[in-house]
Structure 1
Amino acid sequence: MKTIKIILSFIIISLFSISCDDWLDVKPKTQVESSELLKDEAGYKDALWGVYTLMVQKSMYGLNMTVSLDAMAKIYSRVGTSATQYPLSTYSYTSTKAKSLINDVWQKTYTTIANVNNIIGNIQEADPAMFSKDNYNVIYGEALGLRAFLHFDLLRLFAPAYADDPEAQGIPYVDHFDYNITEVQTVSKTIDLILKDLEDAATLLKVADPLCTGRTITTSDDNGYLLDRTFRFNYYAVVATMARVYMWKGDKVNAALKAKEVISDSGCKWTSIDDIAIAEEKRDHTFTPEHIFRLRVEEMEKNIEYTFSTIMAWATGYSFSVMDRDAAIIYPHTTDWRGWNTRYGWSENLGLNSSSIYRLPNKFWQYEDMPAEFKNLMPIIRFPEMKLIVAECNPTTEGAEIINEIRSHRGITEEFLATSTETQVLDEILNEYRREFYGEGLMWYYYKRLNKKSIPYLSYGYSYSMAMDQTKYVWPMPEEEIEFGNRNKENEL
């Protein structure tokens, strides 16, 4: 058996004033005095903000760990052959384009984890009295939660599904900030480490996060540091991630418990038609009341300019689009807000050919007159996912009721039969994932979690299936040495 290890270099964190133009300065192979950088509360705040800034990069949640994953899930009729993601749609992971994208995800995510570990390693030794009010627990809890969250997404991409083999090779779980080598863990052990960090994060945030304590936060209170917790890895983001992890592990009892806690206590609510059935530039395209955790991607328009472009020269070769005949199968209910008949979430006809209509999702389009609260948003965890988790965990007792609840909040009047069988409920849950999460990457993770032996796809109004195996489900770890992640092969033991 071969051992795979990862070596993380030290990085430099440049402190800065918090603004949308600030970026974390990451320079590999440079050791710095973390104690000097993180000598006060302001330094910790800036360092944690820098982590979120890294996460919105195009190589991470700004595109490739969200939008790009849909190419593998086969939810589009076309992925342009010139698109960076096209090799992903054919599972050609060793192609030049795919290797570059995959290696970048690996490198940038472990870079971000290194930044998180720098915060954790220092705050563990810091005097809590140095922090105002609840900020010690909040910063420490967010950092632990983010470390777990980032490792979980790497596990979902670079290792086999738990359902396939829990003892298969997982990923390195890096929980320290130094030059020491971190060995790869099994999938099962990695899950255990993820859950441990999430549990510790939840303990810290439960007593400090304003979403839990009910503490009123104003702009004059610590300069509004704890305002709008959906942009931070808040307590309910931690619990929702626990629901995801338990689902990945196949522990439906705990998954349902965590999802129900988020549903009942987080304060999330369904989007209103009043924010949907209005002028396109004023519309709440990402359904913001349903956001549990989100990121503001200031470069959103630039990131998606090819993927969801209506410019003919780009749309032909680059864009992700859906054909009318395929959309009619995905969205069979004519009143569905998300579908083609209402057209709240789709572009005009691209005009790619005279015989078919092709449209693009407009979820991430930006408009000059767009309300500020809707701009540049990438939802990472949303309320409907928690509902669907509960439905999947309890298909015969709660499944039909939850499906009808979702339908009622998406403009669908036709009821799903309460007498539906478990198989029918689970099939409809799959359909809801396809309708709901365009551009968010969840469909791919859904198929992989269930270790589906085939996944459906549509072409010219006909349904087909793509045979799947671990060569398609698992991204290869980078073979070559990269700046922050190193896959080193040793001799056979």
Structure 2
Amino acid sequence: MAAKAVIENTSLFPWVQSTEVLSESRNPNRIFSSELLFSLFSPGLYDVQKNYFSADVADKSILAPSPDALNDVFKGDENDYRYNPNWKIAPTGKSYKTFYKYADVEDKSAPSRFLVPLLRLSEVYYIAAESAPDNATAFSYLNTVRNNRGLLDVPQTASFSNELQNEYTKEFFGEGQLWFYYKRKKVSMIFPFGNPYQPVYLNAAKYVFPLPLSETSPR
């Protein structure tokens, strides 16, 4: 019911406009801030970006996906708002794309600075799609998100579970939601985005965090 209420009142959290993301070079809205239902303020956000994801970080230390991984996820689709704005080859000599979602903007007064998304409008639509009573409704919700990311509809003849997972993978880079999706769906094999680009096999035990030492160490 909560998801339905949000969907029926999207004026409260309007979809980001393509011009805010693709045409705005100085202050691009890479986190789609108008769509955030809930977020955290992280004063160290841009230090994290600089220390782990920036193209200035050495190859041996940078957190960056392999080109094969990005191609598998985005299929090189230049129309996807989540692709070029967030993944770019920087003019620093690196031959591969690095992550820009949390790169700082020029306008230091922008209200969306330092925000880390926790719940966004697209996830509400994904939840509604997954719990929809029929295939047509499920794809309608899924395609609404795709249309608001610059993409065409996927046909109802496609595998809904595959398409939903593809959308989760593209939508939540750097937001931590994909891991919870994998756990909830009991996904047994994933392709992490590092080098080498190889599958990792999971079981129930690997989805459980170890107990804190304070709870397991003898006193």
Which bin holds the TM-score, normalised by the shorter protein?
Answer: 0.7 to 0.9
Q: CA deviation at 1:261?
A: 2.1
Q: Is the 8 A contact 2:36 2:121 kept in 1?
A: yes
Please list, as runs of the form range in 1=range in 2, the aligned pairs for 1:223-302 lying within 5 A after superposition. 257-265=1-9, 267-302=12-47
Instruction: Give the 3 Å change call, closer, same or farther, for CA 458–488 of structure 1 in structure 2.
Output: closer
Q: Distance in 2 between matches of 1:348 and 1:405?
A: 30
Q: Distance in 2 between matches of 1:439 and 1:287?
A: 13
Q: Distance in 2 between matches of 1:419 and 1:397?
A: 10
Give the equivalent residue in structure 2 for 1:447.
182
Give the equivalent residue in structure 2 for 1:330.
73
Of the structure 1 ranges 302-311 and 383-392, higher mean CA displacement relative to structure 2 is found in: 302-311
TM-score w.r.t. structure 1 length?
0.40
Which of these residues, 139, 142, 149, is aligned with residue 400 of structure 1?
Answer: 139
Identity %: 25
Q: Is the 8 A contact 1:263 1:386 kept in 2?
A: yes
Q: Which runs of 5+ in 1 are unaligned?
A: 1-256
Size of the aligned set, in residue pairs, is: 215
Q: Is the 8 A contact 1:309 1:315 kept in 2?
A: no
Which of these residues, 128, 133, 140, is aligned with residue 390 of structure 1?
Answer: 128
Q: Distance in 1 between matches of 2:194 and 2:41?
A: 34
Q: Is the 8 A contact 1:337 1:411 kept in 2?
A: yes
Give the equivalent residue in structure 1 for 2:205.
471
Q: CA deviation at 1:470?
A: 3.0
Q: Which runs of 5+ in 2 are unaligned?
A: none
What do the CA deviations read for 1:195-228 (whole angstroms, capped 9, x no partner)?
A: xxxxxxxxxxxxxxxxxxxxxxxxxxxxxxxxxx
Which of these residues, 334, 348, 361, is aligned with residue 89 of structure 2?
Answer: 348
Q: Distance in 1 between matches of 2:113 and 2:98?
A: 18
> Partner amino acid for 2:114?
N
Q: CA deviation at 1:371?
A: 5.0
Q: CA deviation at 1:376?
A: 1.2
What do the CA deviations read for 1:111-161 (whole angstroms, capped 9, x no partner)?
A: xxxxxxxxxxxxxxxxxxxxxxxxxxxxxxxxxxxxxxxxxxxxxxxxxxx
Q: Which has the higher helix share?
A: 1
Q: SS where residue 446 of structure 1 aligns?
A: helix
Q: Distance in 1 between matches of 2:193 and 2:117?
A: 26
User: Whose Rg is larger?
Assistant: 1
> Partner amino acid for 2:202?
M
Superposition CA RMSD, Å: 2.5
Q: Distance in 2 between matches of 1:275 and 1:470?
A: 41
Q: Is the 8 A contact 1:453 1:468 kept in 2?
A: yes
Q: Distance in 2 between matches of 1:403 and 1:461?
A: 31
Q: CA deviation at 1:454?
A: 1.8
Q: Is the 8 A contact 2:172 2:178 kept in 1?
A: yes
> Partner amino acid for 1:402?
Y
Give the equivalent residue in structure 2 for 1:367.
105
Q: Is the 8 A contact 1:326 1:461 kept in 2?
A: no
What do the CA deviations read for 1:94-113 (whole angstroms, capped 9, x no partner)?
A: xxxxxxxxxxxxxxxxxxxx
Give the equivalent residue in structure 1 for 2:61.
318
Q: Distance in 2 between matches of 1:260 and 1:443?
A: 22
> Partner amino acid for 2:104?
Q
> Partner amino acid for 2:27?
K
Q: SS where residue 321 of structure 1 aligns?
A: coil
Instruction: Give the 3 Å change call, closer, same or farther, for CA 461–331 of structure 1 in structure 2.
Output: farther
Q: Distance in 2 between matches of 1:374 and 1:288?
A: 6
What do the CA deviations read for 1:55-87 (whole angstroms, capped 9, x no partner)?
A: xxxxxxxxxxxxxxxxxxxxxxxxxxxxxxxxx
TM-score w.r.t. structure 2 length?
0.86
Q: Distance in 2 between matches of 1:369 and 1:404?
A: 33
Q: CA deviation at 1:383?
A: 0.6
Q: Distance in 2 between matches of 1:389 and 1:315?
A: 39
Q: Is the 8 A contact 1:347 1:360 kept in 2?
A: yes
Please list, as runs of the form range in 1=range in 2, the aligned pairs for 1:145-164 lying within 5 A after superposition. none
Q: SS where residue 162 of structure 2 aligns?
A: helix
Q: SS where residue 373 of structure 1 aligns?
A: coil
Q: CA deviation at 1:404?
A: 1.7
Q: CA deviation at 1:303?
A: 2.8
- 1:456 matched to 2:195: no
